Structures are given as C-alpha cells and as structure tokens.
Amino acid sequence: MQKIIILDFGSQTTQLIGRRVRELDTFCEIMPYNKYPEDDKDVHDPEAFKVNLDRFMGRLPVLGICYGAQFISHTLGGKVEKADSREYGRANLGFIDKSNILFKGFDDNSQVWMSHGDTITAIPEGFECIASTANVKYAAYASKTQPVWAVQFHPEVFHSVQGTQLLKNFVVDVCGSKQAWSADSFVETTVAELKAQVGNDRVILGLSGGVDSSVAAVLLNKAIGDRLTCIFVDHGMLRKNEFRDVMEDYKCLGLNVIGVDASEKFFADLAGVSDPEQKRKIIGRDFVEVFNAEAKKIKDAKWLAQGTIYPDRIESLNITGKVIKSHHNVGGLPKEMHLQLCEPLKWLFKDEVRRVGRSMGMPEHLITRHPFPGPGLAVRILGDITPEKVRILQDADDIYIRGLREYKTKLSGEQARAVLAAGVPADMKDGEIEVSLYDQIWQAGTILLSTVRSVGVMGDERTYEHPVALRAVTSTDAMTADWAHLPYDFMAKCSNEIINKVKGVNRVCYDISSKPPATIEWE
C-alpha cells in the first residue's frame, strides 16, 4: 500500500497535516519519536528534536513544513535566526515561482498562514528560493538537484487558501499517489481483515452511543454478523432519552445489543461525592464491574472490540516521558477477561470515521453526534450528583441541543470549506452552503452550576435557583478549541426557553473560554 510518512516534530497541527493528506485519498502515518521539543526550543537547542536526513533525503521526496523547513536549512548549511518579531497570522506570497511543481495552479499573491518565532535567513548551497512574502524572504525553497521542498508557512490550515493544492502537488504529482484510499475501500479491506483476524470467534464490544463505537460495531457486524455481542451500559447520566433512542437506533442497524440499566448502582456509589476526579474514578470502576459481569455471561468470547481511533493512539504515546492525554480506550484490558483486542478504526481520524459510517449507510444523526464524555453528565454537574440534578440538566441540555440542530445558517469561504472538509453533507449553491449550528461546531453541552444559586424574579415571586452555562466550541481534533460565536437571536431564544420550561433554573450563561487555557469540559 502506498503511504506518506509524516515525521512529528511536536507541532499541534501534525494531526491536521495527516487529515489533509487523507483528504487526498492517500494513506499516511504519523511517526512519533521519543521526545518533543519544548515550546522554547529552536533548531540550535541541543535538546531540540533532530533526525538523520541521510536516511531518506535523496532517496524519497521530502517536504519540510515550518520547523521542518528550518531544520533542513540549519542541518545542510543554511542559517536560521531569531526573527525581530514573531511571524504569526495571514501573509501573502508576493513572489511565487509558478514553474516549480510545488506551486502548480497557484494564484498571484496567494494567502498563507505563518506561525514561527525563528526565520530562515540563508538557504543551503544547491537550493533556491521559490516563494517569498513581504516579511519572509524564504517562505519556500527547493533543491536544484533532489526532490526536496520546504515551506515556512502552514499549508494544512484553512487560512492558507491554496494549501490543499500545494499538498496535492506534492502527494500526487511528486510522490505519485494513486489516490486509492477512500471510505469505500477502507470498508472493503477492513471487513476482509476482520474476517481473517477473528475467524469463527465471538467478539464483545462496549457501545457508548457515540460515533466511534457505533461505526466499529457496524463494521464488525458486516464481517462476523451475530458472533458480535454489543453491551450498552446506562449509568443514568446520559442525555435525555438517550438510552432508549440509541437502543432503537442499534436495533434498526441490526446489531445484537444487550442494554443494561445500572443507574441505581451508579447513583448510590456517587452519593455525596463532589470531587471531579473521584467522580470519574467511581464511574470508571462501576462501568468495568457492570461490563465485566455482562461479558462473562457470553460464553466462548475471545475478543474485545473498541472504537479506538488514530488520534487516541497518537495522543497516548509516551513521547515526552509524560502522558499527554489519557483515553478510556487506551491502556489495556482487565487481566481476568483474557480477551484479545480488536480495534477496526485504529488508523482513522474522526472525520474519516464519519465517512466510513456514511459509506455503510448509517443514519446521519448517529454519524454527526458530537463527542460526549464517558462519565456523561456527571462531569457537567458541579458538585455532588443526584437524580434530580441530572433531570434538570437533561431538560436544559435537550432544549439547547435541539435548538442547535434546528437553527440553520449560510456559510461561505473559509467557514464553508472547513465544514465540508469535516464531512458534513451540504450542497454548495452560489458559493454558499446552509447547515445547522450543530454541524458547524465540534462539541456542545450544558453545565449545571449546582453549587451556585442565583436570585431571579418569575411573575411576582422571587426565585433562588441554579444557573446553567452553555458551552460550544469549534475544533478539528479537540487538542485546541475556540468558543463558537453563536448568533444572538439563537442564544436569546434558547435562554428564554430554558428558563421558562426547566424547573430549577433561573439564569443562563455562555462560556467564552478557549482551550487552552480552559478545557472543553468543566470537570
């Protein structure tokens, strides 16, 4: 199989580069190393990440991006120096060598996105400048004799308007990709691989109602049919009517699902617990107990399937000596279960998982579901957990999420490209698309501030009830996120409906914090 290798120097946009390559119907793999450079390290720092260029330069086509461009220049005899000021944001390529294959099809003055503190002040002997901006002389350079190119801007971000064209020029025209990687081909190949891997064995899969586990279940069902048994545990802190609705969806998909209502156990064990980390540990422990009890009833099961996706595995790798982010799907199996692990989605990004789901004919409302925390609403209730608090939050959240799905807006330009690239089905008309607010954002949810009460007035009476905070963020991979700029009329309608209809709430706030420094969830 053809493959593009992406060497990870610790950039936050490494995964985005991978996604852009995959969008070109080309398989790629991000190769992590044992050490990330710290934020204040540059190519001169003895602890900065370095790689032996002789291993591939001259044998394989190479494209250096940002730090990669600086590293190539520094290593081969060029010069990289501190810029007078950090070069960050939009810039335009005033000079472009359009005869160079990397810039085939580029427009004059094409907009790009810069993000670096150092800058290349001299390129190595045997290389030539092929693009410049007003402030960056060597915005791009190339070898005169070898298939080596380098750019100091970021072609993977949407602000680089023709960045996808540049990547296509490299991946397809230079590297010769046949562009054979697609959702349909993935389904065909993976179903065959699952049949070979599992054979006639039985498989257990823990369903969450989310996109990843649902797509993994449908894939396995295509491969092994009723030898797959799915377990869906209701801990009592799902969204309103979610257990019932999801079970009905799974029934329509023809999946063999065991639904377990364990809400009484979870509520009892969480009684009086306010510390968020303790809440997570209790829910995690109880989930394993309930899941294992059901799994042991399934005789002759030899495999445990999980909806682990590629970013889960990348983020969980111990590259720096520190765990960047822990995931519920990564970290091993209960030893007493003696099950082998099956991860049919382990090479896919989230948007690719959705494309695979569509390829298999899954309903759109399952495919476009936002990420939802494993502990559910327990980490969206500040303070201890009670059934009544969960009821209040479920009712408020239901109004918010339904409103996001119903409210449509028109998008164009960068916003439209971002939504379409995420796999949201929409028709372009006169340069515009119309999509719901729900499909424009990465994740949304409501938080109940149950440790806080606020004074209000309803009718002629004074109220003393809880506020709720609405949260909505835009992101590509949840590593960083910005708060979504929702329309005022939508927010006004949503606030009014929550306060009027949800007993126990008399104030609605909107969280305008980005990640970092905040996190997407409050707990």
Query: Strand, helix or coil at 455?
Result: strand
Nearest Cα residue to 129 out of 103, 105, 154: 103
Strand-pair partners of 470: 446, 510
Cα three-residue angle 212-214-216, rounded to 5 degrees: 70
Strands (E), 94-201: 95-96, 111-122, 127-132, 140-143, 148-151
Q: Please give, one letter per residue, the 3-state secondary structure of 499-518.
A: HHHCCCEEEEEECCCCECCC
Q: Is 252 in the active site? A: no
> Which sign does the torsion angle of CA 451, 455, 460, 461 carry?
positive
Q: Is residue 304 within 8 Å of residue 335, measured between CB atoms?
A: no
C-beta atoms surrounding 182 within 10 Å: 16
Nearest Cα residue to 445 out of 366, 521, 519, 351: 521
Q: Is 365 in the active site? A: no
C-beta atoms surrounding 390 within 10 Å: 22
Selected catalytic residue, list 66, 230, 342, 494: 66
Selected catalytic residue, list 23, 87, 116, 154: 154
User: Encoding tokens for residue 455?
Assistant: 């004074």
Nearest Cα residue to 424 out of 369, 471, 479, 470: 369
Q: Is 328 in the active site? A: no
CA distance 59 to 338: 45
Place of tokens 């939508």: 490
Give how far Cα 142 sits from Cα of 61, 68, 72, 75, 188, Å.
11, 13, 11, 15, 39
Selected catalytic residue, list 87, 156, 352, 523: 156
CA distance 442 to 475: 6
CA distance 340 to 333: 9
Cis peptide before 516 (omega within 30 of 0): yes
**Catalytic site positions:** 66, 154, 156
